Chains A and B, each alone.
Chain A
Amino acid sequence: MDSPIQTTSPSETLRQWIIDYSDALYTRAFYKTSNKETAEDLVQDTFFAALEAIPKFEFKSQPKTWLISILNNKIAEYYRKAYKGALQPESRQGFRNVFDIYFDENEEWQKDQQPTEWQIEQSNLLDDEGFLRTLQNCMNKLPEAWSAAIQLKYLEEKKGEIICQELKLSSTNFWQILHRAKLQLRKCLELNWFNLDL
């Protein structure tokens, strides 16, 4: 017998949300991670987390907004894991100490590595597809933990202190990883974009 007030079961609600929003979530996940499988996993995790939480969802906010906020947490979690995983000693072996490239034994800049003014002064870089491609290539060349560190820095609008706390696990501080990442990224963009014609 049907109850007078028609209630929808959580799984029916979720079905409708999957139909309505899975492409939007997938689009977001893909552009934030640049990887199809990762994006698919994150979207699935998001919907299954939502299914568990539906009884608590009070329909005060838009379902889409709520789902996106769950997805954003999943994306940040993914990068935190990537960061921590790639800092483990066994996966750290293999890349040279980046500091040796840039600094001498007195920790001063190597003569040929001193930063000098870039040749290209361009204001609308982010509208330039060539630049975006170069940036993506340079990010892809970084070790996983380093690009994850960069993502984490800008992904969430969190205070730096909080990010540092969440990531604290070794003697290497978050900003020390960022330091290495920025040195490499800076050099890569200099060689492949800003001073390309030199």
Chain B
Amino acid sequence: MMRKQITHFFVLSCKKATELIEKRSIISLSLIEKIQLNLHKSICDACTTYEKQSQKLDDILKAQIASEKAAEENPLKNEELKERMLKKIQK
């Protein structure tokens, strides 16, 4: 157990490494976390690939959630909602 903990300080588990990849996309990592992550990626192809794909997903999600395209191309009407609200504010 102890040995595993020591090994994991130097070389993160894949679970922890992928967690740090996600954490880094929100807040900055500590120096130790940065070193741990880079060390892990240098010996782990799967997590390096995960990182690349995760960043690609970030780009997609960011563009998609910020996108106004659908709203501009297909604006909606809701007369019923309008009527309902107008009725409510009648004095």
Binding site for B on A (CB under 8 A): 11, 14-15, 18-19, 22-24, 26-28, 30-31, 40, 43-44, 47, 51, 99, 102-103, 106-109, 114-118, 125-126, 132, 135, 150-151, 153-155, 160-161, 163-164, 173-176, 178-179, 182-183, 185-186, 189
**A43 cross-chain contacts in B, Cβ below 8 A:** 81, 85
Judged by a CB distance under 8 angstroms, whether B6 is at the interface is no
Closest partner residue, chain B, to A31 (CB atom) = B71
Judged by a CB distance under 8 angstroms, whether B46 is at the interface is yes
Q: Give Cα distance in the complex from A155 to B60, angstroms.
A: 13
B6-38 CB mask vs A (1 if < 8 Å, else 0) is 000000011110110011011100000000000
| A–B complex contacts, Cβ < 8 Å, 30 sampled | A11-B91, A15-B86, A18-B85, A22-B78, A23-B82, A26-B81, A27-B75, A27-B76, A30-B76, A31-B70, A40-B78, A44-B81, A44-B84, A103-B13, A103-B14, A107-B13, A109-B14, A115-B46, A115-B53, A116-B49, A135-B64, A154-B61, A164-B26, A164-B27, A176-B19, A178-B25, A179-B23, A186-B50, A186-B53, A186-B57
**B47 cross-chain contacts in A, Cβ below 8 A:** 109, 115
Closest partner residue, chain B, to A106 (CB atom) = B13
Q: Give Cα distance in the complex from A30 to B14, angstroms.
A: 38
Other A-B pairs, 19, CB within 8 Å; known A44-B81, A126-B63, A163-B26: A14-B89, A22-B82, A23-B82, A24-B75, A26-B78, A27-B71, A30-B76, A43-B81, A108-B14, A109-B47, A116-B49, A117-B49, A150-B61, A150-B65, A160-B26, A175-B26, A176-B19, A178-B26, A182-B22
Near A by CB (< 8 A), chain B positions 56-80 give 57, 60-71, 75-78
Name the one of A15, A18, A126, A175 contacting B60, with C-beta atoms under 8 angstroms.
A126
Contact A11-B89, Cβ < 8 Å, known A114-B46, A178-B26, A183-B18 = yes
Name the one of A15, A30, A40 contacting B89, with C-beta atoms under 8 angstroms.
A15
Q: Give Cα distance in the complex from A174 to B67, angstroms.
A: 24
How big is chain B's contact interface, by range?
A: 35 or more
**A179 cross-chain contacts in B, Cβ below 8 A:** 18-19, 22-23
Q: Measured between C-beta atoms, what is the minimum distance from B7 to chain A in Å?
A: 10
Q: Is the CB of B13 within 8 A of A178?
A: no
**B77 cross-chain contacts in A, Cβ below 8 A:** 23, 26
